[in-house]
Structure 1
Amino acid sequence: MEIFILAFFALGYLVLAGADIGVGMLLPYLGRTPDERREAIAAIAPFFLGNEVWLVATAGVLAGLFPELEGELLGANHTLIVVLLLSWVVRDMGLWLRGRVPGRAWQGAWDCAVVAGSWGLALSWGVLLSDVLLGMHGPLALLPALVLAALFGTHGLAFAALRLRGVLRERAAVLSGGAGEVRTIALTATALAAVGVLAGLRLPLEAGTSGPLLVPVILVMMPLLVASQAWVWWTFRHRVTGPTYL
């Protein structure tokens, strides 16, 4: 049961947050002007904070149910984890601050932060999964990391195609074959989940002793998380009609 819980949250994060990471990576392509970039960001605005909850939950499950694995992953990849967290902070700062002060210079600087942070997240996850899956370290690990980053980008384009309209949708659907964004996002989501499963199979998933205490609590909370996520997706199921608060 502990392994199922960890897989549930970890795969949920990869699939859900992979979409907003991909949109951030390709923001300069999707939005050629400040207004277009703001509309592209509106595609992920209702979702990115909720998606990050899955990462926080994954970290909590790892610490609570798999403390030995948590120590091994953090100890062996300390610098990489720091880069990942910094990228996360920079990306979110860009999203929150870009619209707080008028002016192209201000917005352009924070748009760069969104792009840099999103690429940092994608590559950090890619290097970490390269280590877990392939045992690759150092500069060579960047090669499979770039492949995973391309998968994040494709996933983001498919998601943006589902959310945007007009010219922005046409740009996002460049890999989806017009109206094939549902098919594309299903394929990219499956591919991201498969990467996560393969990585999980390579990890020493030996649960700690706190399972009997924590597992019932987590099982009670899981339906609430899924229900809240479903409610957000249902509420914002329509295509973006213009810029949002970001």
Structure 2
Amino acid sequence: MELTTVWFVLIAVLWIGYFTLEGFDFGVGLLLPVLAHDDTERRVMINTIGPVWDGNEVWLLVAGGATFAAFPEWYATLFSGFYLPLLLILIALIVRGLAFEYRAKRPDARWKARWDLAIIVGSLVPSVLWGVAFANILRGVPIDSDFEYAGGFFDLLNPYALLGGLTTLALFVTHGALFVALKTDGEIRHRARNLAVPSVAVTAVLAVAFLTWTQQQTGTTGSAVAFVLAALALVGAGLAARVGREGWAFAGTFVTIALAVAGMFLALFPDVMPSTLAGGASLTTTNAAATSYTLKIMTVTAVVFTPLVLAYQGWTYWVFRKRIATHHIPAAAESASVR
């Protein structure tokens, strides 16, 4: 297998890791006003992701860095053409991170309410725009013969891309609801589980429509298999949630997201950014790649450090594996950044 293909696969794996892990983070933030009825319950929900949310974002940083190093032409065209949506995502992630850190700095209810809103908006914007961005990459965008993006911002807001945004939003809400049900106890757990069942149904409709549309446009045999398995995993998640098996249900949405993202990369290959212009040039794993020497150095680095990162993150999830409930939250005012 050529190193360009190897790094295309590795970048796909990084995006799978990001969406499966950060996806439930976004879902928890989106559901903050829905599942939590008072400040103590909001603190419980934030505590479910408090130890892991920043670690989950590392997958995004590594995916961006790997794209820059392995496929510089892809990175340059993507970040110049999608500048505004990516900037909005970046701002949302920064504001969301600040909200986690600053929410507990003052006991004032209005202060907390403002940062809660920042968490909600900071979760909503990426949840929608990541779907819009990836849908446009799959659909193709106007790229000229010099690999320059020749469209505008509103070219990205086409029906297919908007459906992609709604699909990722619904997936993350469902994923987050099941994570809350898995990680909490008491009333919040029951509310999350009750919400997850109808949420799975809505998500299934959107996901099937989007993945079917994707398959008709650019699909391959491999992507078709991945999409069908993703749909079956989502159905399994709904059935498990209905009978109260939160662990299996969360695993179902985890697998759904992983297979859906894998299917999208299978549908994209060997392109990395197709062009819709008649005289344009699509970016592929070959013409967008860095030099062979660069890819070799990157491969050695990845082989050495990737297992260490995975082991550390796995250990983090193991340490913070227990459920939490309102009785675990002290009545005194918070002094830590995320309590």
Deviation track 1:176-205 (CA, whole Å, cap 9, x = no partner) reads 225222222222112212232233231233
Counterpart of 1:167 in structure 2 is 187
Counterpart of 1:208 in structure 2 is 290
- CA radius of gyration, larger in: 2
The residue type equivalent to 2:285 in the other structure is L
Choose 95-104 or 187-196, whichever is displaced more. 187-196
The residue type equivalent to 1:120 in the other structure is V
Give the superposed CA RMSD.
1.6
Distance 1:34 1:139, change over 3 A: farther
Distance in 1 separating the partners of 2:290 and 2:177: 39
Counterpart of 1:93 in structure 2 is 98
Equivalent of residue 56 in structure 1, options 49, 53, 61: 61
Equivalent of residue 42 in structure 2, options 23, 37, 45: 37
Choose 148-157 or 205-214, whichever is displaced more. 205-214
Give SS of 1:14's match: helix
Choose 4-13 or 50-59, whichever is displaced more. 4-13
Deviation track 1:145-187 (CA, whole Å, cap 9, x = no partner) reads 1121000110011111110110011111122225222222222
Distance in 1 separating the partners of 2:169 and 2:78: 21
1:72 to 2:137 alignment: no
Deviation track 1:50-98 (CA, whole Å, cap 9, x = no partner) reads 1011111111111111111111211221111101101101111111111
The residue type equivalent to 1:168 in the other structure is I
Distance in 1 separating the partners of 2:181 and 2:139: 33
- Tell me if the contact between 1:170 and 1:178 (Cα under 8 Å) persists in the aligned partners: no
Distance in 2 separating the partners of 1:139 and 1:212: 39
1:137 to 2:217 alignment: no
Q: State TM-score, norm by structure 1.
A: 0.94
Count of residue pairs brought into register by the alignment: 246
Which aligned pairs between 1:165-204 and structure 2 lie closer than 5 A?
165-174=185-194, 175=196, 176-201=241-266, 202=268, 203=272, 204=284
Counterpart of 1:221 in structure 2 is 305
Choose 33-42 or 127-136, whichever is displaced more. 127-136
Distance in 2 separating the partners of 1:238 and 1:98: 23
Distance in 2 separating the partners of 1:143 and 1:3: 25
In the alignment, structure 2 segments of 5+ residues that lack a partner are 1-5, 141-154, 197-240, 273-283
Give SS of 1:43's match: helix
- Tell me if the contact between 1:34 and 1:108 (Cα under 8 Å) persists in the aligned partners: no
Choose 106-115 or 30-39, whichever is displaced more. 30-39
Distance in 1 separating the partners of 2:79 and 2:105: 35
The residue type equivalent to 2:172 in the other structure is F
Distance in 2 separating the partners of 1:234 and 1:179: 22
The residue type equivalent to 1:194 in the other structure is L
Distance in 2 separating the partners of 1:225 and 1:152: 24
- Tell me if the contact between 1:133 and 1:198 (Cα under 8 Å) persists in the aligned partners: no
Choose 105-114 or 70-79, whichever is displaced more. 70-79
The residue type equivalent to 2:251 in the other structure is A
Counterpart of 1:153 in structure 2 is 173
Identity across aligned pairs (percent)? Answer: 33
Q: State TM-score, norm by structure 2.
A: 0.69
1:113 to 2:118 alignment: yes
Moved over 6 A (4+): none
The residue type equivalent to 2:169 in the other structure is A
